[in-house]
Amino acid sequence: MRGFVISEAAVEPWREDGDTATVRLTIDRSSGSEKLEQRVIRFAPGRSKLYRLEERQEVVYVVSGRGTLSVGGRAHDLEPDMGAYIAAGESFEVENPGPEELVLVAVSFPQANGAAPPTERRTIRRADRPTLPAGEERRFEYLADEEVGSHDVTQFLGVIDPSRVPAHGHVYDEVIYVVEGEGTLHLDGKSTPVSTGSCIHLPPKIPHTLENHGPGPMRVLGVFHPAGDPAGRAFEETK
């Protein structure tokens, strides 16, 4: 499969009895993503059930709302534009004090052999990260990465000004969630409208570009494997 895009709203949600979480599995093997699995999770007020990761790790991004992530009995505050990491074999709970939903985007991926143990630090605030350039019209901040124990993938928040840059490809496998804005995804010769809640899978080296129609910036959450630099490109077409 040569890339994939779907709206969160187009995915059927499910909710387990006794849990506060409504889950949409937006990207997985069925959409061509062999390692990265993306879910959009909406927590109602209250405490979730206890979850346990077995052979997969997970990075989490807070879209909206506030709450607490408890891992191994230690609580970590959650707030918008924050990333977090949970290692394979760990158990965790999410508490939402309400009254609004707590909305998370979670991306899980296999635990690599010999992975380093997680650090005491679990969360990264976007406001605490430097803004780095990725061309004239684009910039980003790292979120969950090796500083919190995520050595196999990189999680970042990107900002795209109104523009259309040349099509390009990356060396890594990537999933994207559109946090804010609207535009067009030009992917492998096809053009698809995207907006807040759009979920995208970009295989390595596939030609693509995200066009922002404006008037304001587009914000996108990206998670890619293997870890590295979001601005790194395998190629870029000429204008």
What tokens appear for 182 in the block?
Answer: 């609207």
**Cα–Cα dist 138/160, whole Å:** 5
Return the amino acid letter for 72: G
Q: Under a CB-based contact definition with an 8 Å cutoff, are residues 177 and 220 in contact?
A: yes
Confidence of residue 117 (pLDDT cuts 50, 70, 90): low
Q: Under a CB-based contact definition with an 8 Å cutoff, are residues 195 and 178 in contact?
A: yes
Q: Which helix (H) or strand (E) holds 194?
A: strand 190-195
pLDDT tens digits, 43-102:
999 999 999 998 899 999 999 999 999 998 899 999 999 999 999 999 999 999 999 999
Q: Under a CB-based contact definition with an 8 Å cutoff, are residues 75 and 69 in contact?
A: yes
User: How many Å is the Cα radius of gyration of the chain?
Assistant: 17
Report strand pairing: 4-7 vs 198-202.
antiparallel
What SS3 class is residue 112?
coil
Place of tokens 């994207």: 176
The pLDDT assigned to 214 comes to 87
CA 39: distance to chain centroid? 9
pLDDT tens digits, 120-165:
789 999 999 999 998 888 999 999 998 888 999 999 999 999 998 8
CA 126: distance to chain centroid? 13
- Domains, the chain, in order of start with CATH, read 11-115 (2.60.120.10), 127-230 (2.60.120.10)
Helices (H), 21-114: none
The pLDDT assigned to 137 comes to 87
Q: Is the pLDDT of residue 114 over 80?
A: no
pTM to 2 decimals? 0.95
What tokens appear for 176 in the block?
Answer: 């994207």
212-224-237-31 Cα dihedral, nearest 10 degrees: -80
What tokens appear for 39 in the block?
Answer: 């879910």
